Amino acid sequence: MKKKPSKISAMVTLIIAGEAIFLLPFILIRVFKPVIREVFLISDAQIGEAQSLYGITAVMSYFFGGFIADKWEPRKLLSISIILTAFGGVFMTFIPSINSLKILYAFWGVSTILLFWASLIKATRLWGTKNNQGLSFGLLDGGRGLFAASIALFGASILTFFFPKKGVEITFENKLETLQYIIGTITFVVLLVGFIVYKVIPKSEIKQNNSKEFQFNFKEAFLLMKQRKVIYHSIIIFCAYCAYKLTGVYGTYAKDVWNYSLEQATYFAVFIQYLRPIAAILVGYLADKLIPSKLLIPAFSILIFASLTLGLGFFYDEPIYLSFVTFIFMAFGTYSLRGLYFAIIEETKTPLQLTGTLVGIISVVGFTPDIFMSLFIGYMLGENPTITEYKNLFSLFSLIPIIGLLASILFRKSLLKAF
Contact indicator for 370, 58 with CB cutoff of 8 Å: yes
d(C-alpha 95, C-alpha 76), whole Å = 30
Tens-digit pLDDT profile for residues 261-277:
878 888 888 888 889 88
Within 10 angstroms of residue 183's Cβ, the number of other Cβ atoms is 24
Q: In the Cβ-directed half-sphere of 238, how many Cα atoms lie within 13 Å?
A: 24
d(C-alpha 88, C-alpha 105), whole Å = 9
Tens-digit pLDDT profile for residues 370-402:
888 888 888 898 878 889 999 999 999 999 999
Within 10 angstroms of residue 53's Cβ, the number of other Cβ atoms is 21
d(C-alpha 183, C-alpha 19), whole Å = 15
Contact indicator for 321, 348 with CB cutoff of 8 Å: no
Q: In this predicted structure, what is the pLDDT of residue 137?
A: 77
| Among 240, 202, 176, 216, residue whose Cα is nearest residue 373 | 240
Residue type, 290: L
Contact indicator for 65, 119 with CB cutoff of 8 Å: yes
* Phi, psi dihedral angles at 209 (to 5 degrees): -80, 135
| Rg over CA atoms, the chain | 21
pTM attached to this predicted model: 0.77
Taking CA atoms, 352 is separated from 231, 307, 314, 359, in Å, by: 19, 37, 47, 11
Tens of pLDDT, residue by residue, the chain (419 residues): 444 446 778 788 888 888 889 989 988 887 788 788 889 988 877 888 898 899 899 988 887 877 777 677 777 888 999 999 999 999 999 999 999 999 999 999 999 998 888 788 777 777 766 666 666 777 777 788 788 788 778 877 777 777 666 645 678 888 888 889 889 999 999 999 999 988 887 664 444 444 444 455 566 666 677 788 889 999 999 999 999 999 989 988 998 888 888 788 888 888 888 898 888 888 888 887 888 889 999 999 999 999 999 999 877 777 787 889 999 999 999 999 988 888 888 787 777 667 777 787 888 889 899 888 888 888 898 878 889 999 999 999 999 999 999 999 999 998 877 54
Q: In this predicted structure, what is the pLDDT of residue 401?
A: 97
d(C-alpha 398, C-alpha 394), whole Å = 6
Residue 352 burial by CB count (10 A; 0-12/13-18/19+): exposed, middle or buried? middle
d(C-alpha 288, C-alpha 286), whole Å = 5
Tens-digit pLDDT profile for residues 104-118:
999 999 999 988 887
Within 10 angstroms of residue 329's Cβ, the number of other Cβ atoms is 16
Contact indicator for 237, 363 with CB cutoff of 8 Å: yes
For 16, residues 6+ apart whose C-beta sits below 8 A from its C-beta are 143, 147, 193, 196, 197
The CA-based diameter of the chain, rounded to the nearest angstrom, is 69
Tell me the fold of 3-201+218-418: Growth Hormone; Chain: A; (1.20.1250)
* First-to-final CA distance of the chain: 38
| Among 14, 143, 151, 141, residue whose Cα is nearest residue 77 | 14
d(C-alpha 395, C-alpha 148), whole Å = 29
Q: In this predicted structure, what is the pLDDT of residue 219?
A: 62
Taking CA atoms, 108 is separated from 228, 347, 348, 367, in Å, by: 32, 32, 31, 15
Residues, the chain: 419
Secondary structure (DSSP) of 327-393: HHHHHHHHHHHHHHTTGGGGGGT--GGGHHHHHHHHHHHHTTHHHHHHHHHHHHH-SS--HHHHHHH
CB burial string 361-399: b at 16+ within 10 A, e below: bbbbbbbbbbbbbbbbbbebbeeebeeebbbebbeebbe
For 55, residues 6+ apart whose C-beta sits below 8 A from its C-beta are 109, 367, 368, 369, 370, 371, 372, 373, 374
For 148, residues 6+ apart whose C-beta sits below 8 A from its C-beta are 19, 22, 23, 27, 273, 276
